[in-house]
Structure formats: structure tokens, C-alpha cells
Structure 1
Amino acid sequence: MTAAEGDGDDEEPIGETRWVIPGGHVPVDSTGPEPEMVSHDKLCVLNTGSEMATLEVTLSYADGHEAGPYPLTVAAERVRHMRINDLIDPYAPPLGRDYAIVVESNVPVVVQFSRQDTRQAENATLSTMGYGE
């Protein structure tokens, strides 16, 4: 799952070490059975390399407050999904507030963001790639 570089002898993991998602907002209300229909934001992290990815996830709010960093690991050549709602330590992020996410990793990874909004019976889901550098 790595991208070949140069003459093919050197393989580099696909991705970046810093990702930013500016549009976070976990709705407070949900409609439908728990846990599958609880409104949530989610990070999907793909580690294409041969080394464990050690990440720090930080949430930044409009009032200048930051939450985190929240530690996260992704095994080599694996994908991991993590709901923002499930972050607990150092403390649970408040629901219903706009925030941005910064993900920093020791190795290149690929980060995707998704939201499930079930505040009404007509549910909505969206997904987008983060900005990586």
C-alpha cells in the first residue's frame, strides 16, 4: 500500500504528517436507535506505511479554547475510524459547538472527515478529505 519513489527500491508511505479539518460541529440532538444513529463527526485515518502511526488530535474552538491533544494510534497498513464524540481524555469535547481539527502524526497518513447528522428523521451524511501538508 505504499507509493514507489525513484527506481522502485525506496517506498514512501502515502499521506502527510499534518492534517486540518476546519468544519467540525457535532450536533447535540439525534433521532433513531443508539449507537448507530447518534449524530457524530468522525475521523478516518489510513496508515499505508510499515510503522505504527502515533497521532495527536487537537480541537480548536472559535473562542480560542483548545481541547487535547487526544492520543491516537493506527497500526501499520491499517485504517482506523474514530468518532469525535468518543474522545474522553483529557476531557470530552462539548457538543453543539463549531470547532476545527488538527491531526499531527509521526509518519505520513491520510485523513478523511465525515459527519452523520440525525437531528431529524431525514438523516444526512457528508464526507470530505482534510487539508494535508
Structure 2
Amino acid sequence: MNASSTSMGKRRWAVAAGQVPVGSSGPEPAFTSRDQFSILNTGEDSAHVRVEVFYAHRPSVGPFRVTVAPRRVRLLRVNDLIFPEAIRLGEAIGLVFTSDVPVVVQYGRCDTRARANAGFMPMGWSAH
């Protein structure tokens, strides 16, 4: 099988429904409230992904650089994006993912502010 037949996804993705919750309940790190994303790379080459974060009331931040090995998935918490600047908690954010090879991006939230934990998984939009 050649690399083009194993690659799935697109090179650009956008998610507009981010907001890392400020509070948490329960032990860390398992119960830390968070937004997170996963990047799936089904191809034969490493994916070099740039993530730009957009805020409602301040300039965008980035790029944050993420590498995903060939034929692997990488899960990251938005809370862990700290260079070039830590993501501000509790503020509305949108993210744009730009990769040098096709990838699939999924986004989710684990909100543990209340004892009854909540999950949220908006769909990403891929640009052609």
C-alpha cells in the first residue's frame, strides 16, 4: 500500500467551541477540568501540526507546534499548551490546526467543576 492510500483527513481543521473550565473537583490530574484534542495520523510520514488559538477579546496566540508520529494518535490537553504562551482558562477560544500531511482532529471537554462530571465533544470542521 502506498502512503497516499493510507492517509486520511485534511491539512486544516478548525474548532470554534473551546473554553477550558477554570474549576475542578476530584484528584488531579485525572479529574482536572480540561479541553483536549486528539490528532490522528494514518499516513506513513510524521505530521507536523501548528495550532493557533483565537480568543473572543484578545489577539490570537501561536503557533503551538505538535508532532504526531506516523500511524499514531496523539491526545493533548489544551491546558498543557504553554509555549509560546499559556492558554487562558475560562475564556472562549477557537483553534485552527494546520498540518503538513493529512490528519483527523477531534476535540472534547471534560468538565469536573460539579460532582456530576460532564463531557462535551464538538465536531471539527475541515477545510479543503
- TM-score for the superposition, normalised by structure 1: 0.90
Question: Which stretch shifts more, 18-27 or 122-131?
Answer: 122-131
Q: Contact 2:4/2:43 (CA < 8 Å) preserved in 1?
A: no
Q: What CA RMSD, in Å, does the superposition of the two structures yield over aligned residues? A: 1.7
- TM-score for the superposition, normalised by structure 2: 0.94
Q: Contact 2:51/2:95 (CA < 8 Å) preserved in 1?
A: yes
Instruction: Show structure 2 runs of 5+ residues with no match.
Output: none
Match of 1:44? 38
Counterpart residue type for residue 90 of structure 1:
P
Counterpart residue type for residue 130 of structure 1:
G
Relative to its length, the structure with more strand (as a share) is 1
What is the correspondence of 1:39-78 to structure 2 with a 5 Å cutoff?
39-78=33-72
Q: Would you say how many aligned residue pairs link Structure 1 and Structure 2? A: 127
Counterpart residue type for residue 50 of structure 1:
E
Instruction: Show structure 1 runs of 5+ residues with no match.
Output: none
Runs of at least 4 residues off by over 6 Å: none
Match of 1:98 among 77, 82, 92: 92
Once the two structures are superposed, residues 62-83 of structure 1 have per-residue CA deviations (whole angstroms, 9 ceiling, x without a partner) of: 1241011100000000000000
Identity of aligned residues (%): 43
